[in-house]
Structure 1
Amino acid sequence: MKLFQMKTTPLGVERTREFLEDNYLCIGYPGTGDLQQADREELRVKLLQAGTCGEQNLEEAIEHLWLFVHEMQDGDYILIPDGDWVHLGDLGDYFYNDTYDNEEDGRCHRRGVTWLKSMPRRSVNSIAAELLAEEALISRYQGTLPSARLELWIGDTEADIRKSGGKPAGVDEDTLDLAVAVLKEALHSGDAERRERAAIAILQYAR
């Protein structure tokens, strides 16, 4: 499982609403045809033939397409910015739609998305915030992700802890110890979702 961020303006056109309503993403770079089987050298040739990016932007374009077509996989996750909001989605497979393979439209390279969660940008954790702040059109988070329920991990449940200098405001040590004990007990629950939530909460507390 991998996590990516992606900007929402292929060919300079803002498409956030469309992406959210129609459950897909596109990356631009028209004129290159179906890239399902293209390796990096084939991407280079197709981009040069299409003439949609200059030599100085060629390596960047190759990297963008490689990430979108090959590095992303069904079941990976994507974050997109939307002003003061952030949207988290579960990615589907890459597909090519030649209907939109022209310079005026450019929505030919696509991936389906199941949108999981929308949240205020200020509420995401520092890791997600740093990923969203990257300038690249598309990039991948290189760290370790939780094994389940990424939508819970994205939220910044530590905001109040940081503001209070290391522990939640108004919560004494005995209460914290009791809360952790409850979470540890929940790790052995017969309910898989409850176990996952407890594990994520403990990992966030331990960071």
Structure 2
Amino acid sequence: MSLFGVRLDGTRSRLIKSFLEDNYVCAGDPVIANLESSGREDIRSALVASGAYQEQEQEQEQEQELELEEALSSLDTFVNVMQDGDYVLIADEEWVYLGDLGDYFYDARQESVEGGTAHRRGVTWLKSLPRTAVNSAVQALLASDQEVTRYSGVLPVARMDLWLADSSAGDMETAHSPARVDEATIAEALAVLKTALHSPDAERRERAAAAILHYAK
């Protein structure tokens, strides 16, 4: 089981509504061909044949080669590295969405669509949560420069949806939650604890001290 991030920026950000409603995700590359049985070098040839990475001038050659390699890495990952049953993350400015990936397929009806949406994988969307609430590993994955990136860390064996959340954010929220009792009652309880600090019973003194220190955090 692996986890992948698919970056949606620029004009591709408009696709997120379609992804969520129609249960798929796509790789936005200009190759007009079904890549289901294509290896990495076959994909490279298809990208070159598309004409999108031809050098216009000599000084642009290195930049075009870099763009070609980045596109090759993303498309090869999307077609060959992703597997049925892996997980995928997409995000907009506010929310992160987790989905269960299906097989790669080529939708020829989408060949002429701007941005390239013909290379697809089905997705069963499982969970969404605020972008500010996900853990640092997810934040880093979503910030990748690649269009499609594989997470390289260790994943939980179960409940991927629970792993996404930043547990410290939940702890912080709990720690700063409003008091459920009025100030007068709190003051009275503290007075009792302070009195207990001078009890001849050592165990009672320790419990009172622990309670006061916990409140003071």
Q: What's the TM-score, normalizing by structure 2?
A: 0.70
SS in structure 2 opposite 1:93? strand
For structure 2, which runs of at least 5 residues remain unmatched after alignment? 55-63, 177-217
Deviations 1:49-100 (A, max 9, x none): 1112344211111101111001111111111111111111111110011121
Tell me, yes or no, if the aligned pair for 1:4 and 1:79 is still in contact at 8 Å: yes
Structure 1 gap ranges (5+): 171-207
Cα–Cα, structure 1 residues 12 and 123, in superposed 2: closer, same or farther, change >3 Å?
closer
Looking at structure 2, the residues matched to 9 and 136 of structure 1 have their Cα atoms a distance apart, in angstroms, of 11
Matched, 1:137 2:178: no
Relative to structure 1, the CA distance from residue 118 to residue 13 in structure 2 (aligned partners, 3 Å threshold; closer, same or farther) is closer
Mapping 1:17-96, distance limit 5 Å: 17-54=17-54, 55-56=64-65, 57-96=67-106
Preserved CA contact (<8 Å) 2:77 2:148: yes
- Cα shift at 1:12: 4.5
The one-letter amino acid paired with 2:49 is Q
Question: How big is the alpha-carbon RMSD for the aligned residues of Structure 1 and Structure 2?
Answer: 2.2
Q: Describe the SS at the equivalent of 2:14.
A: coil
- Identity value in percent: 46
Larger gyration radius, structure 1 or structure 2: 2
Aligned-partner SS, 2:30: coil
Change (3 A) 1:160 1:29: closer
Instruction: Determine the C-alpha separation between the residues in 2 that align with 1:103 and 1:53.
Output: 19
- Whole-Å Cα distance in 1 between the matches of residues 10 and 110 of structure 2? 13
Q: By how many angstroms is 1:102 displaced? A: 2.9
Instruction: Say if 1:112 and 1:159 are closer, same or farther in 2 by CA, change over 3 A.
Output: same
Q: Deviations over 1:161-187 (max 9, x none)?
A: 5x59xxx749xxxxxxxxxxxxxxxxx
Alignment of 1:100-119 (within 5 A): 100-102=110-112, 104=114, 106-119=116-129
Q: Check conservation: 2:138, 2:164, Cα contact below 8 A.
A: yes
One-letter identity of the residue aligned with 1:126: S
Q: Which moved more, 1:89-98 or 1:27-36?
A: 27-36
